[in-house]
Amino acid sequence: MAAEHIVADMNDPETMSEESTLRKVFEASPSFLHVLRGPDFVFEYANDAYYRLVGRRDLIGRPAFEAMPEAAGDFPRLIAEVMATQRPFHGHEVPVMLARTANGAPEERLMDLVYVPLIDPDGRCTRVLGHGTDITESVLLRRRAEKAERMSQQRLTDALSAGRMIAWEWDIQTDALTSRGAWLELFDRREPLFTTGRGATAFLHPDDRPARVETVRVAVDRGTSWHMQYRALHPDGTILWLEERATSSRDPVTGHQIVTGLVWDISARKKAEEELQLADRRKSDFLATLSHELRNPLAPIRSGLQILKRLMPDDAQINRTRSIMERQLSHLVRLIDDLMEVSRISRGKVMLRPKPLRLGSVLSNAVESAWPTIEAKSLQLRQVLGEPLTVDGDKDRLTQVFANLLGNAVKFSPPGSTLGLTMRREADEAVVLVEDEGQGIDAASLDTVFDLFAQGPSHQMSGSLGIGLALARQLVELHRGSISARSGGKDRGSTFTVRLPLATAGLAPDDPAEDDGPAAPVIPGRARVLVVDDNQDAADTLVACLRLEGHVVDVAHGGPAALEVFDRLDPTWVLLDIGMPGMDGYEVARHIRARPAGRQTRIVAITGWGQPEDKARVLAAGFDAHLTKPVDLKALAGAMRNEALR
């Protein structure tokens, strides 16, 4: 009923005819209808829908709230007001207490309800038409849905808070920004710090603000997404690290461009990363220092062995002892080198110099490197190298890989047993197998045998630092290859398999072979040499080696003393340690170069600092060459010969 009131003369035959028609319409109506008359609100009419609502009780001719006392409440006043004011009443979701049967217990129903005044011809209102709809079920269903939605939103908010996340939505056209989530956890605020896109930039760290603003601008212009990290300022001035993902779309109703995003706290992760980086730097510094400190005492040992070789070349017992010491010294140097290599690879500081090369040549070099230890244990080496195969690789690094694998096989093989070295082609890969008949690897250790510092059961890994295999895997993977281990178990031997992609380009020219003839003199001719090292044993033994070569040699054990000796000796060569206390090797070299006599002097750094960055720093400081302790006289001769020819 849309009418504000209805005027009717029930004594008019035409009106009575219309009323009859209305009754038929009312009876067919799905909405309930009833007519109440007079100040007592006597039921004059009720349709079938009304009876279904209130139960089949006796209504007509009875006062409404006598027939239905449970429904009284505030209704008598409302109906009386409709009659008195002749203005209708409209109610939405009005609660009404109703008994569905005459003696039943009342229950609350929710109604959309209208009372319309029926105006007599004389202008008075003596009757009211009530009509409406029972919407209880739909309201309860909606309320349950709303409750579920609220609970879902609350769970989302709780989850965002627990994850220290904030979800947001930004309307580009209006600049309105809404958000929810971990404002309290991140910024100690229960309400958002900002409600506009422009306001959101105020809390960004000044150094990160331009990049974030530009990233957002580009993404909004292109209608794309973004993912970035940046710093934000807490109201108390502390810095938070945040990570953000967002995407742009069009609102189908408004046509506005809407950006939705999620930002979360990564401060703890960033702190952990910084601590890991610091720990890694400290580890690298420690390993470099350890390498330096280990190399220093090895220098006089190597020089001493060279002196023995020179002074007593024909003593068989001394030669056997010296060979053992040289072999163990070389093994210790390789361990130090491997330890530093693993550290450098883990920091991404190893650069390969790949070129097409014969893999068989690499294996020959590895065998040559491992041969002294193979002979020392009276092992047999069975080689099946098959057809020549070419791979793209760094010759020195691949030699290192196979030398480590052969050294590992030797270490765990019983004397007199057989080693196997096999090379073959499988599809587009070169496959190399290194086999032994040694202690084997149990199944539990196969998955970790290539881990750095991995230690298996004592019967397998006794005496191993767990470096060589880890280094081999890292170097193989840098060559886009793979390495695996297989074993039948304890005392059943092991097989290590390396797979490398075959080269697609032609073979590079072979490197010139090293001269295996008699050793060249360390320094051509007779020279004046100054040896500078704060390690007195290392300096004195190197001096003794050089004097045996017939050179004029003097020594200094510190920076100031080195400059005094330099001025007196006027040397053609200076062999200079770097890590000396007080005046270090770099400062000594600068002072020498500043002297007129020092401009043509050949300066060679002999130091325990052996990383590529150390060598680069040495050469940049004006040195002519860099050698790592313990220096082999053959390497020293090569370096000095090259410098003498320049």
Which pLDDT score, from 0 to 100, does residue 498 have? 96
Convert the pLDDT of each residue in 170-200 to its tens digit.
999 999 998 888 888 888 877 887 888 888 8
Single-letter code of the amino acid located at 587: E
Look at 350 and 363; give whichever has higher pLDDT.
Answer: 363
Average pLDDT score over residue span 576-600: 92
Only one residue has tokens 């890292």, namely 474
**Domain at 169, CATH number:** 3.30.450.20
563 plus 643 within the same structural domain = yes
Nearest to 373 by CA among 308, 324, 335: 324
Does residue 531 lie within any of the structural domains?
Answer: yes
pLDDT the model gives residue 464: 53
How many whole angstroms separate alpha carbon 484 and alpha carbon 478? 15
Same domain for 439 and 355: yes
**Considering only 25-34, 252-261, 263-272, 381-390, which range has the smallest mean pLDDT?**
25-34
Query: Given this model, what pLDDT does residue 223 score?
Result: 87
At 516 the pLDDT is: 38
419-459 pLDDT, tens digit each? 999 999 999 999 999 999 988 888 878 878 887 665 554 43
Q: Are residues 128 and 154 in the same domain?
A: no
Q: Mean pLDDT over residues 400-411, rounded?
A: 91
Mean pLDDT of 305-332: 80
Q: Using 50, 70 and 90 to split pLDDT, how confident is the model at 628? A: confident
3-state SS string for 243-301: EEEEEEEECCCCCCEEEEEEEEECHHHHHHHHHHHHHHHHHHHHHHHHHHHHHHHHHHH
Residue 85 has pLDDT above 70, yes or no: yes
Round to the nearest angstrom and report the end-to-end CA distance of the chain.
112
Which CATH number fits the domain that encloses residue 599? 3.40.50.2300
**Pick the residue with more confidence: 286 or 50?**
50
From 455, 470, 501, give the residue that closes a domain: 501
Q: Are residues 534 and 416 in the same domain?
A: no
pLDDT-based confidence at residue 389 (cuts at 50, 70, 90): very high
Phi, psi (5° rounding) for residue 39?
-70, -20
DSSP 462: T
Over residues 119-139, the mean pLDDT reads 93
Closest CA to 392 of 504, 475, 482, 483: 504
In 10 A of CB 534, how many CB atoms? 19
Pick the range with the lowest mean pLDDT from 110-114, 380-384, 445-449.
445-449
CB atoms near residue 544 (< 10 Å): 18
CB-based contacts of 17, cutoff 8 Å, min separation 6 = none
**Cα separations in angstroms, 70 against 59, 67, 103, 337:** 14, 9, 11, 97
If asked whether residues 477 and 539 sit together in one domain, one would say no
- Within this chain, do residues 369 and 291 fall inside the same structural domain, yes or no? no
CA atoms lying within 13 Å on the CB side of residue 95: 5
Same domain, 19 and 98: yes
Quick check: 632 and 640 in contact, CB under 8 A?
no
Percent of the chain with pLDDT over 90: 42
Number of structural domains (the chain) is: 4
Starting at the edge strand found earlier in the chain, the sheet holding 573-576 runs: 552-556, 528-532, 573-576, 602-607, 625-628
Q: What is the mean pLDDT of residues 329-348?
A: 71
Can you give the pLDDT at residue 25?
75
> CA–CA distance from 191 to each of 194, 242, 538, 546 (Å)?
9, 19, 71, 80
Whole domain around residue 309: which residue ranges?
Answer: 277-326+520-646
With 70 as the cut, is the pLDDT of residue 519 above it? Answer: no
* pLDDT for the residue numbered 518: 41
Which segments of 87-227 does DSSP mark as H helices, in order?
136-162, 183-187, 197-200, 209-222
Is a pLDDT exceeding 90 seen at residue 145? yes
Percent of all residues in the chain with a pLDDT value above 70, rounded to a whole number: 88
On whether both 465 and 569 belong to a single domain, the answer is no
Residues 492 and 382 in one domain: yes
pLDDT of residue 277: 83
pLDDT attached to residue 525: 61
Q: How many CA atoms lie within 13 A of 548 on its CB side?
A: 18
Q: CA-CA distance, 59 to 258, in Å (whole number)?
A: 59
Q: Is 51 helix (H, G, I), strand (E, B) or coil?
A: helix
Closest CA to 530 of 499, 495, 485, 565: 565
Place 463 in a pLDDT band, splitting at 50, 70 and 90: very low
C-alpha gyration radius of the chain:
47
- Average pLDDT of the chain? 84
- How far apart are alpha carbons 472 and 337 in whole angstroms? 13
pLDDT-derived band at 258, boundaries 50, 70, 90: very high
Asked if the structure places residue 126 within a domain, the reply is yes
Q: What is the reported pLDDT for 19?
A: 65
Of the candidates 214, 26, 12, the residue with the CA atom closest to the CA atom of residue 120:
12
Give the residue among 71, 12, 16, 61 at the shortest CA–CA distance from 36: 61
In this predicted structure, the answer to whether residue 460 has a pLDDT above a threshold of 70 is no
Statement: the pTM of the whole predicted model exceeds 0.85: no
Give Cβ neighbours of residue 525 (< 8 Å, ≥ 6 apart).
none
- Of 364-368, 523-527, 577-581, the poorest mean pLDDT is in 523-527
Helix (H) or strand (E) holding 232: strand 226-233
CATH assignment at residue 459: 3.30.565.10
Helix, strand, coil percentages (3-state) for the chain, rounded to 5, are 45, 25, 30
For the record, the structure tokens of 584 come out as: 């270090």
Is 300 or 528 the better-scoring residue by pLDDT? 528
- 117 & 180 share domain: no
Q: Could you tell me the pLDDT band of residue 462, with boundaries at 50, 70 and 90? A: very low
Q: Do 551 and 574 lie in a common domain?
A: yes
pLDDT tens string 194-248? 888 888 888 899 999 999 999 999 998 888 999 999 999 988 889 999 999 999 8
562 and 433 in a single domain? The answer is no
Within a domain: 184: yes
Averaged pLDDT, 134-141: 93
Whether 468 and 453 have beta carbons less than 8 Å apart is answered as no
Select from 300, 308, 309, 307 the least CA-distant residue to 329.
Answer: 300
